Chains A and B, each alone.
Chain A
Amino acid sequence: MAPFLFTFFSLFTIATAVGVVVNKNAVNAAMCLLLSLVGVAGLFVQLDAYLLAFILLLVYAGAVVALFLFIIMLLDTHDSKAQGLNKLSGVAPLAALGLLLAGVSTFVAKGKLATSDLLTVPAAGANLKLYAYQLFTTYLLPVQVIGFLLLIAMLGVIVLSKKHEGLDDTK
């Protein structure tokens, strides 16, 4: 059953990720992003990281994609008639993609990454107690830094979304 699920979720994730990139409509792209995140959450479950799969669905699929949709609706972006990519800016991403894919596939094909079944190793990620233990001992300082980062981000968003009079630099 597990190999079938891996194949299914990986194909699903890749297909919807391509959908994010190629969709003309931003709302459709956001919906594809949502589906892609659900696929990745399925892969996380395959890897026995149940907590992370749940957080991915809650934080990303629940909050981030909803935020994206709000902003898309708020800005109401009329797609500016796709004024044909000029040659260089069309070729450059394709060349970069090809190089990246070639490098990575060579690495994966020739690399000496273990080929044994993942299920032979005990799953540490399924243990909820271990997360709590590590977050409050080994990673105590990063947790506090992250808390501070969230505070700064909140303040930054408030400052950014305020209207500043007399700072208008457009004509």
Chain B
Amino acid sequence: MNPATLNDYVLLSALLFAIGFFGVLLRRNTLVVFMSLELMLIASTLALVAFSRHNGTNDGNVFVFFIFTVAAAEVAVGLALIVALFRKRHTIQLNELNSLKN
């Protein structure tokens, strides 16, 4: 078996991103959509770490550090928004949130 190369890591991160993207488009539950978004973020950090490792620099890793911080803030605000939404509409299914339709 060959050792893992940069190509393998980039392919894996792209696959993970595609799965998250699929989840965002397919699911109706807002919480699961949000989880898929997190999956996409993680996929991008995996690519950054792999490139950083390949180039022998640390800048990519520092960016990942920042991405984690932003993601933590995003989760806090996003979940607060979902709770506020549930208080108003009593549902978090995306296909029932259609009051702008007519």
Q: Which residues of A are at the interface with B, using a C-beta cutoff of 8 A?
A: 2-4, 6-7, 10, 13-14, 17-18, 20-21, 23, 26, 29-30, 33, 36-37, 40, 43-44, 46-49, 51-52, 55-56, 59-60, 63-64, 67-68, 71-72, 74-75, 77, 79-80, 83, 85, 90, 92-94, 96-97, 100-101, 104-105, 107-108, 111, 113-119, 121-125, 127, 130-131, 134-135, 138-139, 142, 146, 149-150, 153-154, 156-157, 160-161, 168-170
Q: Would A125 and B70 count as touching, CB distance under 8 A?
A: no
With contacts defined as CB atoms under 8 Å apart, how many contacts are there between chain A and chain B in the complex?
A: 243
With known contacts A68-B35, A121-B56, A156-B77, A21–B27 Cβ distance under 8 A: yes
How far in angstroms is the closest Cβ of chain B from A1? 10
Q: Which residues of B contact A169 (CB under 8 A)?
A: 88
Complex CA–CA separation, A150 to B1 (angstroms): 45
Q: Would A146 and B70 count as touching, CB distance under 8 A?
A: yes
Q: Would B1 and A3 count as touching, CB distance under 8 A?
A: yes
Q: Which residues of B contact A118 (CB under 8 A)?
A: 3-6, 9, 50, 53-54
Q: Would B58 and A124 count as touching, CB distance under 8 A?
A: yes
Asked if B102 lies at the interface with its beta carbon under 8 angstroms from chain A, I say no
Chain B interface, number of residues (Cβ within 8 angstroms): 76
Q: Which residues of B contact A142 (CB under 8 A)?
A: 66
Q: Would A49 and B16 count as touching, CB distance under 8 A?
A: no
With known contacts A100-B18, A118-B54, A150–B29 Cβ distance under 8 A: no
Q: Would A116 and B65 count as touching, CB distance under 8 A?
A: no
Q: Which residues of B are at the interface with A, using a C-beta cutoff of 8 A?
A: 1-12, 14-23, 25-29, 31-32, 34-36, 38-39, 42, 45-46, 49-50, 52-59, 61-62, 64-66, 68-77, 79-84, 86, 88-89, 91-93, 95-96
Q: Which residues of B contact A92 (CB under 8 A)?
A: 25
How far in angstroms is the closest Cβ of chain B from A10? 5
How far in angstroms is the closest Cβ of chain B from A83? 8
